[in-house]
Amino acid sequence: MKINFTILLLISFYFLSAQNVKEFYVVQKIGHSIEPDSISVNTNDELVLSFSKPELQNFFQSKTLYAYEQAFPESTNDTLVNTYFLRSASNLTKINLESLSDVLFVEELELMEDYLLHEPNDYFYEEWGWDGLC
């Protein structure tokens, strides 16, 4: 009985902690940058970001981040090249991110068993004769 209670407690903790994590795609405006100058990881596996722009430094200083990376680095599409993937604790919201002057668009992602739905396949559009109208 004691083992069952412990297992139930661990499972409950896992699901409760997973619900606090949010993931976002953040698109920076053309000619602007939300790229951090440096990224380090503290002892809690949280990212510590450093920005030269005070607005970004002040904003992210109080946020708990687990991932901050260019979402589609090999893309040839301008929008995808300017898209970043962020994973954060619950203290970051879509509205907070949209308030940044360098941000064009934010999309909050649903967590789907620890992976994103798919990565856009725009790498070969030139071969297919894609005209960019989509």
Predicted pLDDT at 12 = 45
pLDDT at residue number 48: 94
Task: Give the separation between CA 120 and CA 114, rounded to whole angstroms.
Answer: 18
In this prediction, residue 114 carries a pLDDT of: 55
Q: What is the pLDDT of residue 110?
A: 79
114-29-56 Cα angle (round to 5) = 75
Tell me how far apart the alpha carbons of residues 42 and 32 are, in angstroms, rounded to a whole number: 28
Burial class (CB in 10 A: 0-12, 13-18, 19+), 109: middle
Q: Is it the case that residue 53 has pLDDT exceeding 80?
A: yes
Instruction: Give the pLDDT of residue 75.
Output: 87
